[in-house]
Structure 1
Amino acid sequence: MGSIDGTRPSLVVSAGMSTYDIAVLPGDGIAPEVVAEAQRVLDAAAGPVLNYREHPCGANCYLETGDPLPPATVEACRDTDAVLLGAMGLPDVRWPDGTEMRPQVDLRFLLDLYAGVRPIYLYAEHHSPLKGYGAGDIDFIILRENVEGLFASMNGGIQVRDETAVDSMVITRSGTERISEYAFKLAADRQAERAANQRGARETHVTCVDKANVFKSMAFFRHVFDGVAAGTDIHADHAYVDAMSLHLVRRPESYDVMVTENMYGDILSDLGAGLVEDDVVPALEPRVEERRGVGTVLGVERGE
């Protein structure tokens, strides 16, 4: 089981539990090196005992076995307390339709990891390409709905001859309600931290990021979000995704928790990572992916 403190992934230590089993999916390219360093950090935190067990997954796994996500790996992820996952996929290893191997995305759907929590936090002034921002001045969460939206067409898009290709946006009431509820829970946690002087002062609020002025699916997403917001005492507002791309560069300090559709969250979280990393160290994207009452996937990678 896992949670997040708003700036970095962490395991929640439950009463009576001093040991956790962690399934490690090292990934491709330089990802195994990154994951190994992440394990060193987790061990240095001197928390509960973490038992790591590595499992094959990724584009290299496909080249070796013919399957980028073996069933045994999926079952291991179901049965563990948490998963530590590295970036997966290689540009030259693709399916016949031209798409890359994406086992990390497949895993989200198989485990219903609906909440993609992307914390964006500036630790040092020189890390940001933006002038005038010090440590803690940029501090927000992008909450990405992880198993619907445009990604729901991932294995179901249509291509007609060599002429037409169609992917569909899928938005459901239940999926939007649970991700919106999660957003307000994160905001409430951050509000409590501010009250205890554990987080920098700013207005606690949740922003629904959509394209409701054009797409019926996004208008429905906003409508369901507003219904959830009406049942809370936390301020809620809206922004169109194109405008948000501008606002995050001009005034990132204005935002607290953002909730959005899958593809929009994919794009904005890379932009957010770029706001808090310098041009020497690649912009890494720490994240937590959760589903209610089940294990957590902790990832450190550069986008998808």
Structure 2
Amino acid sequence: MRVAVAEGDGIGHEVIPVAKRALEVLRPDIEFFPVEVGYGRWERTGQAITDDELREFASADAILFGAVTTPPSPDYRSVIVRIRKELDLYANLRPVWGNGFDIKIVRENTEGLYSGVEKIEHDSACTVRCITRRGSERIARFACGLAQKRAGITIGHKANVLKSDVFFREICIAEAAAAGVAWKECYIDALCLDILQHPERYDVIVTTNMFGDILSDVAAYLVGGLGLLPSGNIGDRHALFEPVHGSAPDIAGKNLANPIAALRSAAMLLEHRANDPEAADKIEKAINAVRARGVMTRDLGGNHGTVEFGNEVIRELESMIRN
């Protein structure tokens, strides 16, 4: 198995090496190769990503991705958005779990307000929200596939205002009916509140691109922050796994970043691309064992750094392998 490793920018350079070490311990058969993309490269070369890097990503069996800085500039195109579109990683799976709840947020990943159809003029700026039948059908089918052995899906939308969401909603309902999956619906603004007040009400949630981006960040509050949540960008041929958090330039290089989201992203890679749920489970058990000993980064109330926490997890994994 060949895995492309792109640390990206900021804290990606600190958390991804921890995740890579975990994979090396659990699966020494994996071949890793680095791919440089991101804002740092753009500053140095004028290109954040080229067709060459896209070909390298496409050649991999899976991609372990850090985080990239995207400045608010009209001249800079988001690296991760381009990768998602070029590799057709249409399903963004963001799990959130804790005491009494286990939620799978399924976000359409290639269209909507992140389609890249935009125009900036002197007195106006316009971003087109593209919602297609093909895109809606396949993300609804992906969500329904996850829900087959679960309680059902919740469709998050704003169909009371957006006609494009009327379209999306109707397609999701039709796909749920065809799959024999129970469905319910909720306006996305109300959902952002209710998921915090009553997370146990939700199972698989399917929604559009930007709504899913916002909802999953909101849901991070349930577990202690963005430093804990992984994600998988999944297509029919390719898959990329990355922490939900960004590049966090304010703490980059200070040994403060929490590597749990990156470690859990590595676990998702093992489960979804290496077909190795047992190894994936070891990562989660190692994280829990280390936290139970009081070893935590500062965002969780501890005083350990990225390196120290990562070393403890690696030692725990090595102990599991020996025993």
Q: Could you tell me the TM-score, scaled by structure 2's length?
A: 0.73
Q: Which residue of 1 aligns with 2:53?
A: 73
CA-based RMSD of the aligned residues comes to: 1.7
Q: What residue number does 1:145 align with?
A: 108
Deviation (angstroms), 1:121: 1.5
Q: Distance in 2 between matches of 1:174 and 1:101?
A: 24
Q: Which residue of 2 aligns with 1:14?
A: none
Unaligned runs of 5+ in 1: 1-19, 123-133, 192-203
Shift of 1:275: 1.4
SS of the aligned residue for 1:181 comes to: helix
Note if 1:270 corresponds to 2:217. yes
Contact 1:114 1:289 in 2 (8 A): yes
**Could you list the per-position Cα deviations for residues 228-259 of structure 1 after superposition, in whole angstroms to 9, with x for gaps in the alignment?**
11112221111100010111111011100000
SS at match of 1:176: helix
CA 1:90/1:102 → structure 2, altered by over 3 Å: closer, same or farther? closer
The 8 Å contact of residues 112 and 291 in structure 1, kept in 2 or not, is answered as yes
The partner residue of 1:260 within 186, 194, 207 is 207
Q: Mapping of 1:212-223 within 5 angstroms?
A: 212-223=159-170
Judging by fraction of residues, say which structure has more helix. Answer: 2
Corresponding residue number in structure 1 for 2:8:
27
Q: Distance in 2 between matches of 1:100 and 1:269?
A: 25
**Residues 149-174 of structure 1, C-alpha deviations (whole Å, 9 max, x = no match):** 1111x2x312221x111111111111
Aligned partner of residue 288 in structure 1, secondary structure = strand
C-alpha distance in 2 between matches for 1:88 and 1:103:
7
Runs of 4+ with >6 A deviation: none
Aligned residues: 247
CA distance in 2 between partners of 1:112 and 1:233 (Å): 27
Is the CA contact 1:89–1:100 (under 8 Å) kept in the aligned structure 2? Answer: no
* TM-score (normalizing by structure 1): 0.77
**2:232 aligned to which of 258, 265, 288:** 288
Instruction: Give the conservation status (yes or no) of the 8 Å contact 1:270–1:285.
Output: no
For 1:74 and 1:233, the matched residues in 2 are separated by 38
1:297 counterpart residue number: 240
8 Å CA contact 2:89–2:238 kept in 1: the answer is no
Distance of 1:115 and 1:223 partners within structure 2:
19
**8 Å Cα contact 2:227-2:243 kept in structure 1:** no
Map 1:123-272 → 2, pairs under 5 A:
134=99, 137-152=100-115, 154=116, 156-161=117-122, 163-188=123-148, 190-191=149-150, 204-272=151-219
- Structure 2: gaps of 5 or more residues: 248-323
Q: Deviation of residue 295 (structure 1)?
A: 2.1
Task: Report the Cα distance in structure 1 between the residues aligned to 2:76 and 2:217, rounded to whole angstroms.
Answer: 18
Task: Report which of the two has the higher share of strand.
Answer: 1
Q: Give the whole-Å Cα distance in 2 for the aligned partners of 1:80 and 1:221.
A: 32
Percent of residue pairs identical: 35
Give the match's secondary structure for 1:231.
helix
